[in-house]
Chains A and B, each alone.
Chain A
């Protein structure tokens, strides 16, 4: 497949995804939406890894290999985060992050 786009296009897409994720992290109060935001940001990072490795002078395989680890660690993070959300819902009957004050000193 012949690529014609300069690298900046992929960078802009990744940047847009990062901005959407940052917006979600700031504006949302629902814990599940925060998890969505984190996943979107991780996805943006992975797109950057793959794009920059592909556009290297001699295309690197390391970008793809590293993306595999990143995706696997994102999966672990999602599993633990969702378990925490379920537990918080059981204890507090709510997952609004502004209402979770149990650990406040």
Chain B
């Protein structure tokens, strides 16, 4: 990191090699579009490297970079005018995730099933499960209500369960 702060090109490259794949996949989970995700990846690394001096090593560089990637991915999503359907906020509790019962997870199959989810479902599920966002944070980020986030998440889980059962 010290070498990066001194502007060492090879140190930047090492960081890029280390983080490009997980960051790209994080962006893909939100955008589900290679071109857009590669744009985000490029912009995120450039932004992070340009501001590397302001990075305080309290947390890991990866976490810091991940925040940039997620924020930029969500920005890109907003530019696509992604609409999150406001769903009925009632009876959320009734929509259980029983569809997943008895499913044995497989990493690749699970990711492929997530990729198949409709955009709105996929984004909320990704933020909640992968990025540890609370529904309140998701609601703020996406400009939706907290209950909408919850209901969309439950529906996403239900659909995901159905996809996984199809695959088994």
Do A and B make up one complex?
no
Report A's interface with B, CB cutoff 8 A: none
Report B's interface with A, CB cutoff 8 A: none
